[in-house]
Structure 1
Amino acid sequence: MIKTNYVSDTARNMKPSGIRKFFDLASGVEGVVSLGVGEPDFVTPWRYREAAINSLEEGYTSYTANAGLIQLREEIASYMSRRFHVNYAPDKQIIVTVGASQAIDIALRAILNPGEEVIVVEPCFVSYAPLVVMAGGKAVSVGTTKESDFKLLPQQLEAAVTPNTKAIMICSPNNPTGSQLSKDDLEALAKIAIKHDLVVLSDEIYAELVYDDDYTSFASIEGMIDRTILISGFSKGFAMTGWRLGFVCANEEISAAMLKIHQYAIMCAPTAAQHAALEALRYGFDYVEDMRRSYLHRRNYLVESFNEIGLTCHKPGGAFYAFPSIESTGMTSEEFAERLLLEEKVAVVPGDVFGLGGEGHIRCSYATSMDQLREAVTRIERFIKKTT
């Protein structure tokens, strides 16, 4: 009998995604109103889809350059310059990836030596800390709170830095809280990053979905472009989740290291998806604005409704998530989410799965129709009244 342990300790000790657990629970319940899915409810605009179809009909079915179509990288460079005021060389500093998730993966693997620390600002998307561990690093969690609108405070960052800290990972606008860091916030954090010679991984996938203030890219802050790895993509703002297309921008040294990993692990991003993304960047911003305005209307309704029914909720500056507190109910996040699903057939994600600062909250996506949002609020209010 073979007794070899075939599974690595890293994989064995890794917890499954808490988000997936609740998706699986919800899939077995009929009549569910879901506020759990973190993806646009809009179909990818026809113009982008047609560009992909045309590319197939014209025979563009081979590999592209490892870093992606040069035309797409040039368009990304133009987009980053005019929209976010940061300049990257398309031939040396931009890599087209299989979603933003792969961009984060190759970025961490490119910069980390075994045991080096990455400060992970939480609550955050569930993949961040596991990706640090898979890259051989140590994830150091720093929790934010509702009192600061879930923004990382400079003193928190300063206190978390050790001689072994290599990088900090930030997402703004944030998943799951919707919190958005202002230019002043970023400048304060940048001073600490420069002081301690830290790399910043800035996940800016929700940059097109901001509502009340202008968006500032971390890379645009003075002194930060060479030490920022900017991660973005087409899934959220362009409604292209299933296309699995992202991109990463960094200085030449880091980009060259990421490209080597990308070459061996992936080869290149899907060709047809790259043609769709090229069309999106050239002609798609009217669609983006229409979606953004729709999300803004939904955000205002959902946040106001939560506050009215007794679930305190800060107003998210971006993305498409509300993160109301359920502390007034006396339940844990997991208990609240499970009972709400079973008793009222509303699917939300418990906040504790997103790390420190998440307990006592639930993540509710408003990337769904107004009719569904109204029904969800009705059911949640009924649930609260009978349980408190």
Structure 2
Amino acid sequence: MITVPITSDLLRGVLDLEPTARGLMPHRLPAWARTQYDDPQLEMVDSQPSGVRLVFRTAATWIELDTLPTKRDYVGAPPRPDGVYDVLVDGRLFTQLTAPDGDVITINLMTGATETRDGAPQTLRIDGLAAVPKTVEIWLPHNETTELVALRTDQPVEPVPSGRRVWLHHGSSISHGSNATHPTGIWPALAAAQAGVELVNLGFGGSAYLQPFYARTIRETPADLISLKLGINIVNSDSYRLRSFTPAVHGFLDTIRDGHPDTPLLVISSILCPIHEDTPGPTGWNLEALAAGEIRFSATGNPDEVPAGKLTLAVIRAELDRIVAQRALTDPNLHYLDGRALYGEPDNAAHPLLDDLHPDAATHELIADRFTQHAFTAKGPFV
């Protein structure tokens, strides 16, 4: 048995690896950025390793990974399924595993009260591997806080140089992977696999508000391709008015261009979300559904306030289109995509948003296919 040190050269999609009392916490934001936003929601989603994977070359016939997940139990809502670990061998799905125990945080959505119960690390064992050199990828759960405790094999491992283009994507919960059932089933991971690129996923559920530290993080992270999916969280939080939103977008793009002056950069507006197409935020819980044990959302803003500057998805799409067209006159590598080309009215009729905000697993596949066709083929911005 060989105990393999878990080091950054075995991990992809990670911008910081923090030592903890029981292991290592992969982060998708650097430490300096996390100090600038003391927010429980962002702390949670940053600790959920969407797009993060261990990648190594080995002739091992078995692998053991000790992890410590943190489960979240919402009072009155159906139990959340355990996070899934996708194991790929030479690019093909070999097995899927779960860690059923771990720490548990119980959350009352109505009051905001929380209670934490400590659990124990879990051992995931991958058996039946051929005794030949192969590339193994262990994709961590996209929707479950995960600490890495130990890695063991019966043969040595070595890092795998990628050599592929790096695609850095920033977005909100749909980019994070909400309602996808496993980590390689989120739409950015599916699109990256189709296009043969390395994904760095900076999709943070409920936390994409054009924060400057995101732009600086993107500026300082090596990337060959960059995409930004903007809009829905800004409406959810009712965090801007039109006259403040426009300079915030310009400033976000300016900061990224300081570090990536010529990198292909695709700005994507929100997919169709009927509750917020013409009704501003904030977004609230659908209390009637919550009382029935369902998690659903509703728009609580007043459409009559849109002329005064309140933002809807329709307003944001028009403004992003205008901003990108204006800047593209001097920035030919800047592009815009209307998110309704990825999921629009006909798709909503066939695959309605499960909770009125997030798509289901099949729709993640649909979005990935359409994004790949738009961005990576023909005259797409990432071809």
Please confirm whether the aligned pair reaches a TM-score higher than 0.5, indicating the same fold.
no
| Structure possessing the higher relative contact order (Cα contacts under 8 Å, 6 or more residues apart) | 1
Give the number of the structure whose residues are more often strand, by fraction. Answer: 2
